[in-house]
A and B are shown apart, each in its own frame.
Chain A
Amino acid sequence: MIDLPFDPIRTAIPLFIVLVLLEIAAGKLGRAKVVYEGKDAWTSLLLGLGNTIQTALMLGVIATTMLWVYSHHIFEIRMTYWWAWVVLFFADDFIFYWVHRTSHERRIWWASHVNHHSSQHFNLTTALRQPLTQLVVGQWVPWLVLIWLGFPPAMIVIQNGVSLVYQFWIHTEAIKKMPRWFEAVMNTPSHHRVHHARNPRYLDANYAGILIIWDRLFGTYIAEREDDPCKYGIVKNLGGFNFLRVAFHEWMAIFQDIARSPRHAVGWLFGPPGWSPDGSRETSDIIKARWRARLAKTDRAEAA
């Protein structure tokens, strides 16, 4: 097994609890914009607990694979090398960006990741609203490259934990903006509100983990605007709080689609969310194109 000298997530759990309580207190006392709905918060927290079960069930397979890949590593990198942590920080965040982006752009991975986005709220419990199937669909596999290069598995697990802990505090409406230099480089509540928003303008944007620079580099950065306040959730919001439906609805929909039209199975699985063979459904690109057309029409009408 992988021996961790330090587990950032386990260490941070008490902090998560305290921060959720503080956020609720700030909302209750009217000190900040904080919105909580009881059933929604319960569902989010339950999904967080479910995610820990998934991790426990998949741990053996993942650890065994990591150790096998490490037995074939090409460079000797030790946990005691300070520069290795610097390189890993950037490499891990870069991989996170692409894995996260793929989670939004390909339906098989969206089916897992959608859980994290299905709340109509954006508060600290949303951060804990984690998918139940992201390990099953192999979203940990890209990190094996780093292990093959020579980073010890324990370093990868620790850095992954650091990234997850960082991303906790950015799930809030209570913090409006951070200092300008911080907003330029780091992922912040403002950037992440855009990522969770369902407004057409904000779809498929700000995939960053810790550093927002990847979105700026790869053209997926969109700034939050006061004239278009973020509305949270998914394009077609869920119709209830049934835990199993919340957790597996997109998987059920995929199976329905494949059963109805098996010859398009590849498209149903690997097409973008909203893809359909006859084009009768809406992908993010279509929604954005329609929104742009409406905007242009309004602009023309105002100019006339």
Chain B
Amino acid sequence: MDQAYIIQFAVSAVAIIVLASVAAWARIPRQVAPLDESSARAVIADELPDTPVERVWVDAVGQAAVAKSGSEAVVLFRVGDGFAVRQAPWSNLAKAHTRDGRLVIRFGDPAAPAARFQLAPGATSAPFSEIAA
């Protein structure tokens, strides 16, 4: 590999570190408030307008929510200053495991393998667990 390429690559790498640091330092992301039930419903209505939602459970820190839509679960979770939404069979929630006070819901989707639902302090299962089981 020629020397000019290596120099260009090294300089680009340094530039990237500087630019990413400046971007993080600037703190100019979207302003996203923690989720509550109505904001979770609004996001789901926007993402899945043809999906009627029955009940919604928001996690303890407002970073994720689970909604029941018939036999489907709609899972909404924060990614940076945005959200990702995935659907899974409601029965999958019964298989979700708890780790460090968080319920890990898996989707089998390479683009979004799992969502984490923060449980309330002291809780050992999610508020929707009884229905999920």
Contacts and interface: CB of A to CB of B under 8 A. Distances in A.
- Which of A17, A37, A256: most chain B CB closer than 10 A? A37
Nearest to B1: A56
B52 to A, nearest CB: 13
B122 interface: no
Nearest to B24: A38
A236 B26 contact: no
Nearest to B31: A35
A45 B19 contact: yes
A215 to B, nearest CB: 27
A249 B22 CA distance: 28
Main secondary structure of the interface of A (DSSP, over half): helix
B16 A233 contact: no
A52 to B, nearest CB: 7
A236 B12 contact: no
A125 B113 CA distance: 25
Interface string B25-41: 01011100000000000
A290 interface: yes
Interface residues of B, number: 36
Interface string A136-161: 00000000000000000000000000
A38 B20 contact: yes
A277 B29 CA distance: 40
B68 interface: no
Interface string B72-91: 00000101111111100000
Nearest to B46: A231
B29 A36 contact: yes
Given A17-B15, A36-B29, A45-B20, A252 B80 contact: no
A49 B13 contact: yes
B112 A36 contact: no
A52 B12 contact: yes
A45 B16 contact: yes
A34 B30 CA distance: 9
Contacts of B61: none
B12 A49 contact: yes
A239 B111 contact: yes
Contact of A239 (B5, B20, B29, B84): B84
Which among A45, A249, A253 has the greatest number of chain B C-beta atoms within 10 A?
A45
Given A38-B23, A249-B111, A253-B111, A237 B12 contact: no
B81 to A, nearest CB: 5
Contacts of A69: none
B56 interface: no
B12 A13 contact: yes
Given A249-B111, A253-B109, A36 B79 contact: no
A294 B49 contact: yes
A41 interface: yes
A218 B26 CA distance: 41
B53 interface: no
A27 B29 CA distance: 10
Contacts of A239: 77, 79, 84, 86, 107, 109, 111-115
Given A36-B23, A253-B110, A28 B28 contact: yes
A24 interface: yes
A27 B26 CA distance: 8
Contact of A245 (B19, B24, B113): B113
Interface in B97-113: 107, 109-113
Interface string A49-86: 10011001000000000000000000000000000000
A180 interface: no
A287 to B, nearest CB: 10
A204 B30 CA distance: 25
Contacts of B86: 236, 239
14 contacts: A37-B82, A38-B24, A46-B16, A52-B8, A56-B1, A120-B81, A236-B111, A236-B112, A238-B79, A238-B111, A239-B109, A241-B80, A245-B110, A250-B110
The 9 closest A-B pairs by CB, nearest first: A239-B112, A38-B24, A252-B110, A41-B23, A120-B82, A42-B20, A249-B111, A45-B16, A249-B110
